[in-house]
Amino acid sequence: MLWTFGEVAGQTISVPVKVQKTVPNRLIRFAWEASEGVYDAKAGTVPRPAGYDNTVEMSFEPLGEDETLVKITEGGWRSTEGGLQGSYQNCSGWMHMSCCLKAYLQYGIDLRKGSF
């Protein structure tokens, strides 16, 4: 499976995703290649492929009829400056994606459309 992102330094990139496990309405777990380094929008640079995979897990826990707790974790980063920077970049990306999803689900607003 490929995920395509059009908002990375003005470029469109596709990333292979290896689905490991899914449980409907509860869990999505996959691996993808780690990227290390710093994203620099002004310079148009993106973090570089690191040659190893990270594991991402998204869990969904119902809290009520109209509420769900979403947890996203990503692990497997190397203990290097590049690995640390890559983890910060992805953390920022997951936060952005979560906020966009919330706006869409609650208010029907697509924050991603036209924002990049």
Beta bridge partners, 31, equal 18, 55
pLDDT score for 9: 59
Q: Quick one: pLDDT at residue 44?
A: 65
Per-block mean pLDDT, blocks of 10 residues, the chain (116 long) = 74 87 97 84 72 96 93 95 90 90 92 72
**The pTM is what?**
0.84
Residue 98's contacts (CB-CB under 8 Å, 6 or more residues apart) are 70, 72
Sign of the CA dihedral running 38, 39, 41, 45: positive
